[in-house]
Amino acid sequence: MTDTHCPYCSLQCGMTLAPRRARGGAVLEVRARPDFPVNEGALCRKGWTAGGLRGHRERLTTPLVRDRTTGELSAVGWDEALDLVAERITELRTASGDDSVAVFGGGGLTNEKAYLLGKFTRVALGTSQIDYNGRWCMSSAASASTRAFGVDRGLPFPLADVEQADVV
């Protein structure tokens, strides 16, 4: 069994993944974590079904590289794929400047992960070009969150603090 976090939203609810035998092979069963302060064992529908992602028939489990001549995709090892990514990013930055590289994050990142992604983007890659999907697909929620909490993703406090607040 592995304690982890739900991959869907920035609340990062606690869950435990446990292997289970099923028809067609092993699957992961999602179990609640009542001791986790954010969700106290509760999960939304997406959280309860998160274990199914790992075994989905369309899930890619190995890197694919497109042949520059034929356009065909072929499976390669992780080391080869990561070396190729590093090589191509270096080529692109050399030819077109640092801001020719961009990073696109997601609204499901915690504040800490979003901060690290921003640091990686600006320091390691040397680009100012960073955005995230919430600016478009979640713009109304982000706007409401900004008005309510002063940030557009995640909460600036532990959820357990709400019950201690004088006013909500």
> Rounded to 5 degrees, what are φ and ψ at 53?
-60, -40
111: helix, strand or coil: helix
Residue 149 pLDDT > 80? no
Cβ within 8 Å of residue 78, ≥6 positions away: 62, 63
Triad 46, 119, 38: Cα angle to 5°: 35
From the list 4, 105, 12, 10, the residue with the least C-alpha distance to 51 is: 4
What pLDDT is stored for residue 138 in this prediction?
63
2-54 is classed in which CATH architecture? Single Sheet (2.20)
What pLDDT is stored for residue 53 in this prediction?
76
Cα–Cα distance list, 26 to 19, 29, 50, 55 (Å): 7, 10, 15, 8
The full set of domain ranges for the chain reads 2-54, 60-96, 97-161
What pLDDT is stored for residue 26 in this prediction?
63
Higher-pLDDT residue of 117, 145: 117
Q: Pairing relation of β-strands 2-5 and 130-132?
A: unpaired
Residue 2 pLDDT > 80? yes
Count CB-CB contacts under 10 A for residue 75.
Answer: 12
Residue 38 pLDDT > 70? yes
Cα–Cα distance for residue pair 153/134, rounded to 1 Å: 8
What is the per-residue pLDDT across 102-142, written as a single tens digit (0 to 9) for each?
999 887 777 788 899 999 999 999 999 998 876 666 677 77
Alpha-carbon torsion angle 121, 123, 129, 133, nearest 10: 30
**Mean pLDDT, residues 58-74:** 93
What is the per-residue pLDDT across 70-106, written as a single tens digit (0 to 9) for each?
999 999 999 999 999 999 999 999 999 999 999 998 8
Residue 154 pLDDT > 70? no
What pLDDT is stored for residue 156 in this prediction?
60
Triad 120, 92, 103: Cα angle to 5°: 35
Residue 22 pLDDT > 70? no
What pLDDT is stored for residue 157 in this prediction?
66
Residue 25 pLDDT > 70? no
Q: How many Cα atoms sit within 13 Å of 14 on the Cβ side? A: 13
Cα–Cα distance list, 58 to 48, 52, 62, 72, 126 (Å): 20, 11, 12, 18, 34
